[in-house]
Structure 1
Amino acid sequence: MTASKNMLIVFILLFTPILILGIALLLTLVPLPPPLPMAGSHARNLLAAILTGILGLVWATSLVIYLVASFLMAGRAFESTFTSRGLTAGSYLGLGRQYQGSIDGRQVEAQYSPGRMIQNGLLNIHIQTDTNLRMAVGVNRPLLDCITCQQVEGSSYGLDDINVYAEDIPWAQNLLAESPNVELIRRLMDKSEKLGMREIYMQPGRIWLHARPSAQFDANYAQIWLQLLLDLSRAIEKSH
């Protein structure tokens, strides 16, 4: 569903209570021919109340259906992205979705939870990687992992405005010394606002992309992220 259609539906749902109120006033005050009750009479007010209640119930039901459908659709934003690579889809934390399977001989798992109010949705992609080392990459200091890691000077490797932390500094420097590896990280951390917040964590046994894509994010771009992570997994193993 396009953004313009969503805006139209939201406008209709918000305008409807005003319309119902207007109808209630008309039913109460406008003269109607017999045998309908006289305007302002108890019978007319009762009739207006019943009809307004029915219209209000229809509106409330429609609003609930719309909200539930919107959350369900939002939760499936990445359905084709991951199922097209052979991953199996399933429910995740109510309205979210998770995807599991194997790609190029690696176990892959992804979870997506749609956003709430002004908060963007949460996308996590985990890919099996044969490494026992830890490294974290983010625009700010990554806080979810690698808390005891030391900082690597990313600008020395062309990663300006990107913070890199690692347990094993020589290994991290060896990884970043290869320009193709730096390019993979740079593309994953693209500064475009529509891509939203992203952090990369290299942990024992896996690599993890932690992202909050913006509302303008093209879900097909997650396919690019997935491939970049697979390529980075191979690069990590080669540098280990």
Structure 2
Amino acid sequence: MSFDPKSTILGEMNWSIMLLASFFMFFSFWKKPSRIKTIYLSLINQISQQFKIALKSNKDSSESIFITLFLMILFLNMMGLFPNIFTPSSHITLNMIISVPLWLGFMAYGWTKFTNKMLSHLVPNGTPTALISFMVLIEMISNLIRSLTLSIRLMANMVSGHLLLTLMGNLMENSSTFLVILLTFLQSVLSSLELGVAFIQAYVFCMLLTLYSNDSDFN
């Protein structure tokens, strides 16, 4: 179930885990801010500062889009750390649904409003004349596959850790007591690392999107 988005009871029920984000991210269950709410607001402020630095345009207030996207991906990544819960961000379908429309919007805006500057980006400074046509081809291919590589990066990093944890769990079935204790310790350490990976991958995913936004915005 951790790797299969289908469930045997209600078909697509594992995808509904994404709806839980609204209950934890947008609603407050306390009259006064709780400790969790305080930590949540502090995290938003810190991430907001990072995105404001990455977005070079002073009049660009779109960091709220990337903050919301970061919180959603972070929540989905962390939900996958619970047993028998499917991780939506480990599925390339969801990642492509997020990355492709944003990438297309950035490229469409850049090429329609700053066509000459977008063309100049296809040839890096200092490129020898003989390699200009070759560099243009490479830059065009790299721009076209950005959404795909972004999706695959997130999927691969989320699947690899979960897969290793699953293999360790299966290995415990017919193992000695000492090996079970050792594997349990390794799983605990790896689970702690997966918590960091969940945060880092959400941050990297959104930060790369801000860089793609900068490539199409010259204001």
TM-score over 0.5 (shorter chain) = no
Q: TM-score, normalised by structure 2?
A: 0.28
TM-score by length of 1: 0.26
Between structures 1 and 2, the one with greater strand share? 1
